[in-house]
């Protein structure tokens, strides 16, 4: 019996140490849990959701609106989005031999302007061949773009090679470093969960000297005009979505996502933090949207 007591004494842990160990274990568990919860939370419009849930919800939004996407863009902006995209391409001013990745470009609006721009350049076909990879996370949006490209003749006798890629802008693991010399993203980056990761990936896939260009909704510097714009956005755009596309919630989200996106100066700082230099921006229509540009140097 005395031998048994001695053995138990040797293998037992004193109570103070037991308490210390349990406190440390609980603290570590709690800290890890809190950290993971904080990392998982983000915004979906004005709603707070888990990060994984946002990716799914955004996917569902664009899956729902894909077929009416261009019609709704015309309705919501009274056709002005076409002018914004034309200006965006003029500021980009691609040259023959450009190797472009058009991110969130599923329906082809930017890609088709890129092809037209190069077609209109003198001797463009005689010079180096250009290319574009149209990339989107949603296959439904890509399918719309492919059908449009075929119907409108963008794939026939084109000075540009066109590829279609379904991929996440935050994880372009299938694309090697320094694969492109230009990266465009139009009205897409605000829908991404981690804007910083999108910018880091853009920097990675660009060659030294490559250019990053983003066209995105922004904030109006004039408070009165911002108020008027808010009234139009929140009171009318979801109604249009219901009447034209039979969808209210996706367009409510689109309006809210615009208000959650960083303003021009903050987004400029984020682009610089990703490594880009000579970062500038230009407001369009009083700041309803803005063009940001930067270079990998």
Query: Following DSSP, what letter does each residue of 23-79 receive, concatenated?
Result: HHHHHHHHHHHHHHHHHHEEEETTEEEEHHHHHHHHHHHHHHHGGGHHHHHHHHHTT
Query: Is the pLDDT assigned to residue 36 strictly greater than 60?
Result: no
- What mean pLDDT is predicted for residues 197-220? 97
Classify residue 25: in a domain, yes or no.
Answer: no
Query: Is the pLDDT assigned to residue 86 strictly greater than 90?
Result: yes
In angstroms, the CA 199 to CA 185 distance is 10
Classify residue 229: in a domain, yes or no.
Answer: yes
Kindly report which listed range (119-123, 168-172, 173-177) carries the lowest average pLDDT score.
119-123
* Size of the chain, expressed as the number of residues it contains: 297
pTM above 0.85, yes or no: no
Domain count, the chain: 1
Classify residue 109: in a domain, yes or no.
Answer: yes
In angstroms, the CA 211 to CA 99 distance is 11
Query: Is the pLDDT assigned to residue 123 strictly greater than 90?
Result: no
- What mean pLDDT is predicted for residues 85-106? 96
Classify residue 12: in a domain, yes or no.
Answer: no
Question: Which SS3 state, helix, strand or coil, does residue 275 take?
Answer: coil
- What mean pLDDT is predicted for residues 145-160? 90
pLDDT of the residue at 73 = 81
Query: Is the pLDDT assigned to residue 183 strictly greater than 60?
Result: yes
**Band of pLDDT at residue 3, cut at 50, 70 and 90:** very low
The CATH number assigned to the domain holding 59 equals: 3.40.50.150
pLDDT of the residue at 40 = 66
List Cα–Cα distances, 224 to 22, 219, 228, 261, 268, in angstroms.
58, 12, 6, 19, 24
pLDDT of the residue at 70 = 74
Nearest to 111 by CA among 140, 144, 139, 89: 89
96 token code pair:
């023959």
- What mean pLDDT is predicted for residues 146-164? 91
**Band of pLDDT at residue 22, cut at 50, 70 and 90:** very low
More confident residue, 53 or 80: 80
In angstroms, the CA 65 to CA 178 distance is 33
- The annotation status of 149 as a binding-site residue, yes or no, is no
**In sequence order, which residues have a C-beta less than 8 Å from that of residue 67 and are 6 or more positions away?**
144
Query: Is the pLDDT assigned to residue 31 strictly greater than 60?
Result: no
Greatest Cα pair distance, the chain, in angstroms, is 102
Share of the chain above pLDDT 90, in %: 57
Kindly report which listed range (54-63, 115-124, 169-178) carries the lowest average pLDDT score.
54-63
β-sheet bridge partners, residue 281: 292
pLDDT of the residue at 18 = 45
- The annotation status of 168 as a binding-site residue, yes or no, is yes
Classify residue 284: in a domain, yes or no.
Answer: yes
**In sequence order, which residues have a C-beta less than 8 Å from that of residue 24 and are 6 or more positions away?**
none
In angstroms, the CA 84 to CA 126 distance is 30
Kindly report which listed range (70-79, 133-142, 196-205) carries the lowest average pLDDT score.
70-79
Query: How much of the chain is in helix, strand and coil states, percent to nearest 5?
Result: 55, 20, 25
Classify residue 162: in a domain, yes or no.
Answer: yes
Query: Is the pLDDT assigned to residue 176 strictly greater than 60?
Result: yes
In angstroms, the CA 216 to CA 193 distance is 15
Classify residue 32: in a domain, yes or no.
Answer: no
Contact (CB, 8 A) for 71 and 244: yes
More confident residue, 176 or 73: 176
Query: Is the pLDDT assigned to residue 223 strictly greater than 60?
Result: yes
Query: Is the pLDDT assigned to residue 74 strictly greater than 50?
Result: yes
pLDDT of the residue at 166 = 96
**Band of pLDDT at residue 17, cut at 50, 70 and 90:** very low
**Band of pLDDT at residue 62, cut at 50, 70 and 90:** low
Query: Is the pLDDT assigned to residue 230 strictly greater than 50?
Result: yes
pLDDT of the residue at 54 = 64
In angstroms, the CA 76 to CA 110 distance is 18
Contact (CB, 8 A) for 126 and 112: no
Neighbours of 142 (CB within 10 A): 21
In angstroms, the CA 129 to CA 1 distance is 91
Classify residue 101: in a domain, yes or no.
Answer: yes
Q: Which domain holds residue 56?
A: 43-295
In angstroms, the CA 199 to CA 216 distance is 14
- The annotation status of 136 as a binding-site residue, yes or no, is yes
Share of the chain above pLDDT 70, in %: 75
pLDDT of the residue at 161 = 94
């Amino acid at each position: 019996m005395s031998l048994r007591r001695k053995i138990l004494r040797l293998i037992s842990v004193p109570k103070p140490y037991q308490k210390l160990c349990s406190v440390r274990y609980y603290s570590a568990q709690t800290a890890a849990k809190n950290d993971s919860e904080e990392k998982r939370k983000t915004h979906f419009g004005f709603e707070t959701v888990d990060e994984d849930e946002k990716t799914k919800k955004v996917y569902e939004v664009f899956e729902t609106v894909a077929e009416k996407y261009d019609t709704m863009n015309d309705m919501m902006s009274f056709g002005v989005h076409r002018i914004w995209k034309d200006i965006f391409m003029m500021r980009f001013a691609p040259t023959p031999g450009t190797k472009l990745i058009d991110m969130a470009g599923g329906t082809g609006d930017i890609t088709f302007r890129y092809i037209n721009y190069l077609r209109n350049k003198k001797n463009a076909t005689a010079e180096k061949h250009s290319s574009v990879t149209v990339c989107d996370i949603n296959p439904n949006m890509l399918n719309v773009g492919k059908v449009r490209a075929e119907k409108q003749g963008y794939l026939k006798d084109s000075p540009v090679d066109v590829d279609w890629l379904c991929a996440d802008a935050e994880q372009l693991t299938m694309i090697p470093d320094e694969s492109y010399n230009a990266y465009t993203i139009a009205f897409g980056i605000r829908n991404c969960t981690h804007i910083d990761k999108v910018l880091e990936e853009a920097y990675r896939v660009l060659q030294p000297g490559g250019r990053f260009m983003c066209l995105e909704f922004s904030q109006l510097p004039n408070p009165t005009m911002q108020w008027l714009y808010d009234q139009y956005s929140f009171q009318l755009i979801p109604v249009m979505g219901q009447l034209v596309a039979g969808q209210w919630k996706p367009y409510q989200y689109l309006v809210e996502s615009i208000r959650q996106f960083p303003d021009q100066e903050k987004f400029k700082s984020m682009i610089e933090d990703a490594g880009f230099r000579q970062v500038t921006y230009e407001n369009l229509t009083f700041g309803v949207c803005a063009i940001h540009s930067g270079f990998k140097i």
